[in-house]
Chain A
Amino acid sequence: MESVLGRYRNLIILVGVLFLQILGLAVQVKKAETDTENTRLIRIWAVQAVTPLERGLVRIESGFGNLWHNYIYLRGVRAENRDLKDKIEQLKLEQVRLSEDAAQAHRLQAMLSFKEQFVAKTVAAQVIGSSGSDLSQGIYIDKGDDAGIRPDMAVITADGIVGKVLRVYPSTTLVLLINDQSSGVGVMLGKTRLQGILKGTPTGEVALENVMSDEEVPVGETVLTSGGDKVFPKGLPVGTIAKVKGHGDRATFLEIRVRPSANLSKLEEVLVVLEKQEQQSLAQESAHQRAADILAQRLPSVPEKPPVEASGSAASTGSKQAAAAPGGAIATGNSVKPAPSSAATKPQLSKPAPATGQTSASQQPKPDVAKTIAPKPSAPKTAIVSDGGAITEVPSKKPTTPPATKAVPQTVPEPQPSIPPSTTNDSPQ
């Protein structure tokens, strides 16, 4: 027995060491299912042993780099400065256009109650090392738990997404890059809006998966985050399509390679997204304010209407309200309430002739449909007709000639040519 043990001693030790490691792995895999990490202490020791050296080297490197770039190597800086100034001018122009688009997008989002996440708070961090293996793609950054970083937070640069936080240590964080084989990012194409999953390849490239082979994916199209992974906010730049293969009949999915926007092999500084916010509430709030503002602009004369109020009755007040919010809403101060009844508003809007005293029955608009076009908010205050900026079609209804209509012509000495006849009876002149 002893001779057998002596003869196979090396092999027995090998099997023993392998068995122990396999056992350790099995325990970790089992624990991973319950989301408890039992190797955290070992990892912290290892990381804390390595990162101080890395920090020191990075500081020395950046110090020399700054010295060289800021004080010694200044060739071409003047020309670069001129180019940058030109670029700023161009960007300013573009910004004006984009801000208009953004404002419009906010209004539309508010109208449709869309929810969109956006980056609310970030923390900048410096890359100090990698995961130390050629088969995994991870980086270490110099901020950790102390800076508020938590697992599964998005890591980005100004160019595009980088990865997500995998493990957080007191002053260091391990970030899993998007080109790691075990990573997955929900993405979509910029123009065609095709959705897929972004994964890493064994060679460290980035591939777009789950896109059917009958889809057209043009090379050069931008790839954006779809927000489906709950890690990255929607719409962040990911990269561009670099290569598309597999258009044959046999292939079920296309083989797509993506060129990341962020240079993953030369990362120096990154941003960790600490906080994301739903955009809906902001958009709704702004839309609400805007609606109130618009109504306030269009109805500046609602509270102050001396002559008509004096001679008119309750019906004229009703007509004023009707003109104020023909779309079924009454403006009261800054709030908007639904109109109690539209029946009272219709005759008021479609009774032009008696009000002006100048248009005969034949000159009236067709009795079945009276069309009024709303003026812009900058229109004179006398133009009260407003229907949210849209053409209003009022069904024909013979005016019941309420008492107020007779009193109105006395208060309107001259009909204004720019104002449709149907509205003049409410204009305080």
Chain B
Amino acid sequence: MPITYTSGEQVEVYRFSIPVTLGVPLIAVFLQAFIQSRINGLSYLDLPLLVTIFFAMARRNPIAGLVTGAIIGLAQDCLGPYPIGIYGIAKTVVGYLASSLGVRLDVENAGTRLLITIGFYVTHQAVYFTVARHMVNLTLNWSWSRGILAGFANAMVGVLLYFFLDRFKQRT
């Protein structure tokens, strides 16, 4: 029997309606593309990543998590200048880890969500950079300061976003 750190109530698995399942990731990808060019300072924000983390943690199903991450990541790749698959791989890993962690941890708490999002943001960046540099041979440079700052900013936005998206959860 696997050891978990969640209460019986929090182990409950959620599901989402089809419009939310399709609409929220699409809106996230669209807003990421649109707002970033309009509002200065939002380039640090990775809305598709936050949505991936949220869905993966709420469903608590690793397969659903990794598939969600892969689809959102590939959609993001399609709009970007680099080869398709870099974001796909990074978000697949994050989706899998987030859903696996969601089974074991209480992810309804704001503090936990903040820390988890920072951790996943850095993980996402690390996977992205690894793939981009060693597979695609892009000359990207890693910046710790940017990683931590952007991770914290994303976590702050993520906590608010998660509480908003909690409204769309449906108990199974």
Stretch in contact with the other chain, from B13-21, B85-93, B106-114:
B85-93
* Beta-carbon nearest neighbor of A135 in chain B: B128
Interface size of A in residues (CB-CB distance below 8 Å) = 53
Contact with A along B119-142 (1 / 0, CB 8 A): 000000100100110011111111
Bound form: Cα–Cα A151–B66 in Å: 35
Residues of B within 8 A of A22 (CB): 85, 89, 135
Is B140 within 8 A of A202, CB to CB?
A: yes
Instruction: From known contacts A25-B131, A50-B33, A129-B37, infer whether A136 and B81 are also in contact, taking CB-CB under 8 Å.
Output: yes
Q: Is the CB of B136 within 8 A of A25?
A: yes
Give B40-58 as 1s and 0s: 1 = Cβ < 8 Å from A's Cβ atoms: 1101111010000000000
Query: Is A365 close to B, CB under 8 A?
Result: no
- Residues in B1-44 with C-beta less than 8 Å from chain A: 29-30, 32-34, 36-38, 40-41, 43-44
Cβ contact of A174, chosen from B45, B81, B88, B139, cutoff 8 A: B81
Q: SS class of chain B's interface: helix, strand, loop or mixed?
A: helix
Least Cβ distance of B2 to chain A in Å? 11
B96 to chain A: closest residue by CB: A14
Question: Are A202 and B80 also in contact (CB < 8 A) when A10-B63, A13-B63, A130-B33 are?
Answer: no
Complex CA–CA separation, A46 to B75 (angstroms): 7
> Are A129's CB and B131's CB within 8 A?
no
Given A21-B70, A29-B137, A131 and B150 contact (CB-CB distance below 8 Å): no
At the interface, yes or no: A406 with Cβ under 8 Å from chain B? no
Residues of A within 8 A of B142 (CB): 202
Assess the B33–A29 pair: CB atoms within 8 A: no
Interface residues of A in 26-75 (CB under 8 A from B): 26, 28-29, 32, 39, 42-43, 45-47, 50, 53-54, 57, 61
Complex: A334 Cα to B69 Cα, angstroms: 75
Contact (A28, B84) CB under 8 Å given A21-B92, A132-B79: yes
B172 within 8 A of A: no
A10: chain B residues within 8 A (beta carbon): 62-63, 66, 96, 100
Chain B, Cβ-Cβ closest to A46: B78
Contact bitstring B125-168, A, C-beta under 8 A = 1, else 0: 10010011001111111110110001000000000000000000
* Minimal beta-carbon separation of A346 from chain B (angstroms): 66
Task: Please state if B43 and A267 are interface contacts (CB–CB under 8 Å).
Answer: no
* B28 and chain A: residue at smallest CB distance: A132
A134 within 8 A of B: yes
Task: For B84, give its contact among A9, A14, A39, A130 (CB under 8 Å).
Answer: A39
Residues of chain A within 8 A (CB-CB) of B82 are 136, 182
Among B37, B66, B78, B139, the residue within 8 A (CB) of A181 is B139
Q: What are some 14 contacts across the A-B interface (CB < 8 A)?
A: A14-B62, A17-B92, A21-B88, A29-B83, A39-B78, A45-B78, A46-B75, A130-B37, A136-B81, A140-B79, A182-B140, A201-B143, A204-B43, A265-B40
Residue numbers of A with Cβ under 8 A of B are 9-10, 13-14, 17-18, 21-22, 24-26, 28-29, 32, 39, 42-43, 45-47, 50, 53-54, 57, 61, 127-140, 166-167, 174, 176, 180-182, 201-204, 265-267
Q: A9-B63, A13-B66, A174-B81 are in contact. List 6 more A-B contacts (CB 8 A).
A: A13-B62, A22-B89, A29-B83, A136-B82, A202-B140, A265-B41
